[in-house]
Chain A
């Protein structure tokens, strides 16, 4: 299977989710008083699902601009980690493709891209095709929701909203190579879940993702 084809075959459940959640975003933004242009501009310029929902909520409640931007920075700080983590896989490419692909670096593109690289592939096509289609479906969904609104789908129906979480779980299970990986993954799951339940959703992923790999030092030393 070619990298492009693999990206579509493996990515389609996530594309469906992107459209459905995009519709929900478009709808929510319009109900919060944004125009169709403003709603779509957010999906093009920011292109970060969770952060966009939070932004709309803060805009609606009249939060000051610096607070909104700071919240987005905290929420998206996890992308710093993701970019650092895929650097070893795509570091050989020249600057233009690297900074171009950074624009489509989402949680989903990161997770699928890592899944692809871990199977020994070194091409950027898979990541680019998946990320580009993800962008297209997210923006198409946003526009649909912003224009047609109300009587479209509810993501929780049929469990579609769970597809993205399911992708993360499956990639971890398939990607674990040895005991240290399993321990680190388990700790990351527990810390992220705990932080989210404790109300620290904005930083749950970046904190858990940054701390859990520190265990690799302890685990490696004990084994040697």
Chain B
């Protein structure tokens, strides 16, 4: 019983956080400062996800393979402007770097 109560409460809490900013109906236009903040927000969140992922994937200290691979991803993304190429290059890079012991 405790299991189901925990899972349902966690599911509801997660859904409320995902939907609340989308569910409320805003009237009029947002003030300039808020628009400026929201405009900068997407890149900041994705960069934070990237930083957290590179720092300690799966909670384990790393030998730097992820940092090296992230640099490869960044270089390929800047060069080709193509998401798919960059991701494939990153996966190959991290596999190679890990196989040499990083």
Check if A159 sits within 8 Å of B40, measured CB to CB.
Answer: no
Report how many A-B pairs have Cβ atoms within 8 Å: 288
The residues of B that contact A184 with a CB separation of less than 8 Å are 40, 43-44, 47
Contacts of B98 in A (CB 8 A): 156, 159
Chain B, residue nearest A188 (CB)? B47
- Contact in complex: A76, B17 (CB < 8 Å): yes
Please report the C-alpha to C-alpha distance between residue A172 and residue B71 in the assembled complex, in whole angstroms.
12
Chain B, interface SS category? helix
Asked if A204 lies at the interface with its beta carbon under 8 angstroms from chain B, I say yes
Residues on the A chain within 8 Å of B5, using CB? 65
Q: Contact: A185 with B91, CB < 8 Å?
A: no
| Residue total for A at the interface (Cβ-Cβ under 8 A) | 98
* Given known A9-B84, A46-B10, contact A85–B20 (CB-CB < 8 A): no
A73 at interface by CB-CB < 8 Å:
yes
The answer to whether residues A167 and B14 also contact, given A46-B7, A95-B25, A188-B47 and a CB cut-off of 8 A, is no
Quick check: is A132 within 8 A (CB to CB) of the other chain?
A: no
Minimum CB distance partner of A10 in chain B? B83
Q: List which B71-102 residues lie within 8 A (CB) of chain A.
A: 73-74, 76-78, 81, 83-84, 86-95, 98
> Which residues of chain B have C-beta atoms less than 8 A from A110's C-beta?
42, 45-46
Is the Cβ of B19 less than 8 Å from the Cβ of A205? no
Q: How far is the CA of A189 from the CA of B67 in the complex (A)?
A: 12
Of A76, A158, A175, the residue contacting B14 (CB under 8 A) is A76
Whether A45 pairs with B49 at a CB distance below 8 angstroms is: no
